[in-house]
RNA sequence: UGGGGUGUAGCCAAGUGGUAAGGCAGCGGGUUUUGAUCCCGCCAUGCGCAGGUUCGAUCCCUGCCACCCCAACCA
């Protein structure tokens, strides 16, 4: 099966790597994908995964899968497993390069003692509040801590006692001694170690002292021999600190940090805080709710790894703020599935049609291609009998201009079958159309056009006696505003939740061949869109399909 | 008001001191038993604004403007 060839335009990071390879600065490149295991991965992470893992496939090199687990308070093994599954599903293999920042805790600690020995780090024994006040503001310089000039011996002793658990949380911290009046606030003696008497998901109770991100990340990169450390724009201000730490210590190499802009996708949210809130407050069923922009949600919804890769290629890599249309993502899955998906007919909102000239005991076995453009994929059986279902909105008593479907007295083609004419419209007491009586033209089977008339419309249908009932879940965007919350003073994104983001249709009818549908395969329900079995809720005797995305519809009417 | 970034079409995004790639969207037309797909064509005298240098500037220089990020013992 062919997947779409991604459009490859170059970007500044690829250019840098090419130059480094050509100049001989590096023989191969090493990257890393470093999530904190405190939430599920989302499509923004996918952008980073495709970048980091993709680059090393494109050039020679390898990529580390590294968990940045320096803050045991928020982290959890559940997230670790979910993240590994997601990265793997996207198509990447880290081989034996699965690491954790916590693997380096001892080495990091030793480096810290080294810093102290050099007089480049000190133990501060002030309260968190004092440290914050002394940091200064954006426009005012910071002031020195009274503990800044402690002796090396005292610093070392205190630091060792911090490690051995003699002090309570918050009693002391270790700070890098850099520059309290730097215009870059990150350089005003940043805290690099804090006491946290909590159990770490990997190291247990071995440590009660945990290193901070800025100190940990650069050293982990250096220890792994990372050549290019790719991160998002908000870390740009941290780069001087990244470089400072590595410059002080005897490390194997000095990776280059390069920043790119994070993904912003309209009609959804991509911040961990907000995604957690959606899950915890029950606005969605779970992390893998098919409306979620998480990788697991997209997977359950029916998105393919190939479609997400296409998306990553399309949006590109740059340093500019971006605001991607949701339609770009939707178009990627359409493009991928168009060639892959077997075709089927399904009626979501059924309207009964009786074919008057079809005897009650008549059953005709028609068939149709699995995929019209790929005849070698075979054919599927399509039974026809006297009673069929068509889509409710494929009939209109009072049609708008340009309506190509069925109208009273009019003709339409049943897809893969005959042309029918509507003879009679049956309504219930309230005036609602509940049944159509039609006659079919037996001389209009496959490949045969009706004589002397043009039939423009084609509608899908299923045989009532043969159809399989199923529940179908129609999904729409989770939020009704492109930038959720932006119109409210408190930026409350929940107020923009789309109340119609999921519609459940429990009376849908499927062509009988769909009884063989498999989880993980997307089907095109002709004229409607792409659908797949819900991996959680579908059962063999009660099928549940998710709508992945609609087909494009250039007809504005309805 | 300090520091760090970014501004190329509706949305992304290449690009170069020599006259603006590509994708998505949009528009027009063709094919079609999916109003899908597919095919063809159109779509920036313009690169945030104003000056300057130059034969020539989106690119170099100067000055502005707008937006984003930074004052966790988060990452």
Strand partners, A466: none
- Distance between alpha carbon A398 and the CA centroid of its chain, in Å? 43
Instruction: Assess whether pLDDT exceeds 60 at residue A1.
Output: no
HEC string of A287-302 equals: CCCCCCCEHHHHHHHC
Name the 3-class secondary structure at A116. Answer: helix
| Residues A337/A304, Cβ–Cβ less than 8 Å | yes
CA–CA separation, A491 and A32 (whole Å): 34
Instruction: Report chain A's mean pLDDT, rounded to a whole number.
Output: 95
| Helix H or strand E segment including A232 | strand A228-232
CA–CA separation, A464 and A510 (whole Å): 9
| Residues A358/A388, Cβ–Cβ less than 8 Å | no
Confidence (pLDDT) at A445: 85
CA–CA separation, A387 and A448 (whole Å): 23
Q: Sheet with A387-391: list strands edge to edge.
A: A458-459, A411-414, A419-427, A433-441, A350-355, A387-391, A461-463
| Nearest nucleotide, CA A138 to C1' | B2
| Residues A122/A150, Cβ–Cβ less than 8 Å | yes
pLDDT classification of A490: cutoffs 50, 70, 90: confident
| Nearest nucleotide, CA A319 to C1' | B6
CA–CA separation, A363 and A238 (whole Å): 73
Cβ of A518 < 7 Å from strand B? no
Structure confidence by residue, pLDDT tens digits, A146-171? 999 999 999 999 999 999 999 999 99
The two three-digit tokens of residue A407, written as one number: 């109208």
The residue-averaged pLDDT of A228-257 equals: 98
Instruction: Assess whether pLDDT exceeds 70 at residue A74.
Output: yes
CA–C1' gap, A64 and B8, in angstroms: 36
Q: Which nucleotides of B are covered by protein (CB under 7 A)?
A: 1-8, 10-15, 21-25, 27, 33-38, 67-75
CA–C1' gap, A49 and B49, in angstroms: 38
Cβ of A229 < 7 Å from strand B? no
CA–CA separation, A32 and A224 (whole Å): 9
Structure confidence by residue, pLDDT tens digits, A360-387? 999 999 999 999 999 999 999 999 999 9
The two three-digit tokens of residue A532, written as one number: 């797949």
Cβ of A197 < 7 Å from strand B? no
- Say how many CA atoms lie within 13 Å of A460 toward its Cβ: 20
Strand partners, A98: A65
φ and ψ of A158, to 5 deg: -60, -45
CA–CA separation, A258 and A256 (whole Å): 6
| Nearest nucleotide, CA A216 to C1' | B75
Nearest to A194 by CA among A115, A127, A147: A127
Q: Per the residue annotation, which of A36, A113, A363, A471 is the catalytic one?
A: A36
| Nearest nucleotide, CA A394 to C1' | B35
Confidence (pLDDT) at A101: 98
Structure confidence by residue, pLDDT tens digits, A510-549? 999 999 999 999 999 999 999 999 999 999 999 999 999 9
Confidence (pLDDT) at A7: 40
Residue A36 among the catalytic residues: yes
The two three-digit tokens of residue A422, written as one number: 């509507």
Confidence (pLDDT) at A557: 56
Task: Report in angstroms the alpha-carbon separations of A549 from A129, A474, A500, A522, A558.
Answer: 51, 9, 15, 11, 19
Contacts of A104 (CB under 8 A, 6+ apart): A216, A219, A220, A223
Instruction: Assess whether pLDDT exceeds 50 at residue A558.
Output: no
Structure confidence by residue, pLDDT tens digits, A280-293? 999 999 999 999 99
| Residues A162/A174, Cβ–Cβ less than 8 Å | yes
Structure confidence by residue, pLDDT tens digits, A382-430? 999 999 999 999 999 999 999 999 999 999 999 999 999 999 999 999 9
Q: Per the residue annotation, which of A135, A160, A262, A377 is the catalytic one?
A: A262
| Helix H or strand E segment including A240 | helix A239-248
Confidence (pLDDT) at A453: 84
Residue A314 among the catalytic residues: no
The two three-digit tokens of residue A63, written as one number: 């990529």
The two three-digit tokens of residue A291, written as one number: 């409306």
φ and ψ of A495, to 5 deg: -65, -20
Structure confidence by residue, pLDDT tens digits, A91-148? 999 999 999 999 999 999 999 999 999 999 999 999 999 999 999 999 999 999 999 9
| Nearest nucleotide, CA A455 to C1' | B33
Q: Which of residues 364-403 of A touch strand B (CB under 7 A)?
A: 371-373, 402-403
Contacts of A398 (CB under 8 A, 6+ apart): none
Whole-structure pTM value:
0.96
Q: Which of residues 458-497 of A touch strand B (CB under 7 A)?
A: 458
Instruction: Assess whether pLDDT exceeds 70 at residue A8.
Output: no
pLDDT classification of A315: cutoffs 50, 70, 90: very high
Confidence (pLDDT) at A447: 74
CA–CA separation, A557 and A342 (whole Å): 28
CA–CA separation, A95 and A366 (whole Å): 50
Locate the DSSP E strands across A452-501: 458-459, 461-463, 468-475
The residue-averaged pLDDT of A238-266 equals: 98
Nearest to A299 by CA among A40, A528, A2: A40
φ and ψ of A11, to 5 deg: -150, 170
Cβ of A127 < 7 Å from strand B? yes
């Amino acid at each position: 099966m062919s997947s779409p060839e991604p459009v490859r335009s170059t970007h500044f990071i690829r250019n840098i790597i090419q130059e480094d390879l050509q100049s001989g600065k590096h023989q191969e490149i090493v990257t890393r994908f470093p999530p904190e295991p405190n939430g599920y991965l989302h499509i923004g992470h996918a952008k980073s995964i495709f970048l980091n893992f993709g680059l090393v496939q494109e050039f020679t090199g390898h990529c580390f899968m590294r968990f940045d687990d320096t803050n045991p308070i928020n982290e959890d093994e559940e997230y670790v497993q979910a993240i590994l599954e997601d990265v793997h599903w996207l198509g990447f293999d880290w081989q034996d390069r699965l690491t954790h920042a916590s693997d380096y805790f001892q080495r990091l600690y030793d480096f810290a003692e080294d810093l102290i020995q050099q007089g480049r780090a000190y133990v501060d024994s002030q309260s968190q509040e004092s440290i914050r006040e002394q940091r200064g503001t954006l426009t005012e310089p910071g002031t020195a801590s009274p503990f800044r000039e402690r002796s090396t011996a005292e610093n070392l002793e205190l630091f060792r006692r911090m490690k051995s658990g003699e002090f309570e949380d918050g009693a002391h911290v270790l700070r890098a001694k850099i520059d309290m009046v730097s215009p870059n606030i990150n350089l005003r003696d940043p805290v690099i170690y804090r006491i946290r008497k909590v159990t770490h998901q990997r190291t247990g109770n071995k440590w009660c002292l945990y290193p901070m991100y800025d100190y940990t990340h650069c050293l982990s990169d250096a220890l792994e021999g990372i050549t290019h450390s790719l991160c998002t724009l908000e870390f740009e201000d941290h780069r001087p600190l990244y470089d400072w730490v590595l410059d002080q210590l005897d490390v194997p190499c000095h990776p280059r940090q390069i920043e790119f802009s994070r993904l912003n996708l309209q009609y959804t949210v991509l911040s961990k805080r907000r995604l957690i809130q959606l899950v915890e407050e029950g606005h969605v069923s779970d992390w893998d709710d098919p409306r979620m922009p998480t990788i697991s949600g997209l997977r359950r919804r029916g998105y393919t790894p190939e479609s997400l890769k296409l998306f990553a290629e399309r949006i590109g890599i740059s340093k500019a703020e971006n605001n991607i249309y949701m339609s770009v993502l939707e178009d990627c899955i359409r493009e991928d599935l168009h060639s892959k998906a077997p075709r089927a007919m399904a009626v979501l909102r059924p309207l009964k049609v009786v074919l008057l000239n079809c005897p009650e005991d008549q059953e005709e076995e028609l068939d149709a291609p699995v995929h019209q453009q790929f005849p070698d994929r075979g054919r599927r059986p399509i039974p026809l009998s006297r009673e069929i279902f068509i889509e409710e909105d494929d009939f209109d008593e009072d049609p708008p201009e340009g309506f190509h479907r069925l109208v009273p007295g009019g003709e339409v083609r049943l897809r893969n079958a005959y042309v029918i004419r509507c003879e009679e419209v049956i309504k219930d007491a309230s005036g609602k159309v509940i049944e159509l009586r039609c006659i079919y033209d037996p001389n209009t089977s496959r490949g045969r056009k009706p004589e002397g008339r043009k039939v423009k419309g084609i509608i899908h249908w299923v045989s009532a006696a043969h159809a399989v009932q199923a529940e179908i879940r129609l999904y729409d965007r989770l939020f009704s505003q492109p930038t959720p919350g932006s119109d409210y003073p408190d930026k409350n994104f929940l107020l923009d939740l789309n109340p119609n983001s999921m519609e459940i249709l429990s009376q849908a009818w499927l062509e009988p061949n769909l009884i063989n549908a498999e989880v993980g395969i997307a089907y095109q329900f002709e004229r409607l869109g792409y659908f797949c079995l819900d991996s959680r809720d579908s059962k063999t005797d009660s099928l549940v399909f998710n709508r992945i995305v609609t087909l494009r519809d250039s007809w504005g009417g309805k």
